Chain A
Amino acid sequence: MSDTVVATAAPKLTRKDFVTDQDVRWCPGCGDYSILAQVQKVMPELGLPREKFVFISGIGCSSRFPYYMNTYGFHSIHGRAPALATGLKVSRPDLSVWVVTGDGDGLSIGGNHLIHALRRNVGIKILLFNNRIYGLTKGQYSPTSELGKTTKSTPLGSVDYPFNPIAVAMGVDATFVARTVDVEAKHLQDILRKTYEHPGGAFIEILQNCNIFNDGAWEPLTDKASKADTVLLLEHGKPLIFGKNRDKGVRLGSDGRLQVVSLGNGTQEKDILVHDETNRAFAYMLAHLENPTPIGVFHATTRPTYEDAMGRQLEAARQRSGVGDVNALFNRGETWVVQ
């Protein structure tokens, strides 16, 4: 059966269909290259015609992204991409609308739009590239930079307490919240697919390296030698076990907090939490787990999307009052005739 569906579908798209003729202008070695490559790899597999994709961005290194995607694209102004995307998605629910943003664009100047788009559950997919630094303006600290960070604008160290992007998204009841890593190609692809399939708004934090201004920001999580012990892979229905020897796990302590424990010495796999991405409370606790750092889908749930709700309201109004008649509207209320 599925073969038949494929056979009648539009000509098969390939990665090349999503590549533009523009030179990619990120610094050599930037994590954005990998993200772009994975997006260009996944998009053709999703079964949606290329012209239905729209990439909208704000300002910053990551926001150059639309120029390199051979889809419809809109490179807008600093922080406002979620607002533009909302207007587009509400009036054109047939489109697959993606927002590409960064930690400065999405969480500093554009924080307001980000949280409101997520709480409304507008069906837009927000990819936030988090490199914990301002790259395009050449190296100031960002709202995700760690306390004490020394940068051009904080020579004595930052005194700004940072945002936890996943916790922000959880805090505004986003319906899909995930984290992945620029260099984890397979994982990134998997998350992109799930993002597309999620029926509603999605927030993806992509840990991304800025090799010029914040090199090694995520090194413990990407270094081959250490990452098995620093990264906790979240998989729905699977226990929260990690470590080179898969000998560590996360359990719920009797004090109601998450505990990182070693297996053995009386601690068995059955004591370890099984990841349930539908469980909001656990997702929120996991959002605050730092060591190990969880990647994967923290939370996925469904709620009517904003555009569907609005579309239904318009339809209900038509059912109730009939399709609008302009002349009748003009003549509503008290009218009088002058001969």
Chain B
Amino acid sequence: MGESPLNNKSIPAVPTRPAGIGLRGRHYEDILEQKPDVGWIEVHPENYFGGGRHRHYLRKARELYSLSLHAVGLSLGSDQPVDRDHLKKFKELIDIYEPFQVSDHVSWSASGNAHLHDLLPLPYTSETLERLCNNIERTQEYFKREILIENPSSYIAYAIDEMNEWEFMNEAARRTGCFILLDVNNIFVQSFNHGIDARKYIDNVNAKKVREIHLAGHTEREFDNGKLLVDTHNRPVRDEVWDLFEYTATRLGPVPTLIEWDGDIPELPVLVAESDRSQKIIDAVGSISHAAE
């Protein structure tokens, strides 16, 4: 039986306003009642693989907003092919909800039959690049569309890296034709945890490939010998990350920009206010980046 495709075609596929928010279960009722002025919404497709209330509310929200499907379970960087069942369920959602873009991460979570449900770090080697590209291609062939791949946060770095992260991202995008989801908070986390120059990262990522930006809050974690930043998505975006976003927006111009908030989720207006802040920055730097074109 299943669901029929959306009836309402009045919502444009592509958002007319760059600033969007992640939609989580806590806000299902609120978003339909408050109809906040955000450009688009994003959800994890994995939460909609079953039926019932999640799909019910997503359908209603989709009638109001453009949608992006941002996966966490494809495990594109695993040394094994993407799971066909996962692709099939994901594709079913694409057909029903008509997202303007779909994405997953440059990371791995599955090894053999075990699925670890975290975005685990990859060594940036030519072998990894080949595996990742094969999986991106499998996914794109199955979906019959390009996907976006997101740069990760990581807490450990490999000594065996053959290239840096932006070179790895750019090359994967070049080889497969996929696009890049640039998580500015993750770049900040990487710069702190691994001593990378964040602005140099942004200067060097292939600007033509970036189709989405993520912003989120992170948390400091103290150890005996120092501290690490952990990408926790449970608090407001830090000021340092807003500064880095302004730098990014100046270089890239208006790109769909999302606030992710997954833990200690606040009331909807707080999330929307964060999103408005990103919109203001995009508007403010708009004239500058336009002049630079």
Q: Do A and B bind each other?
A: no
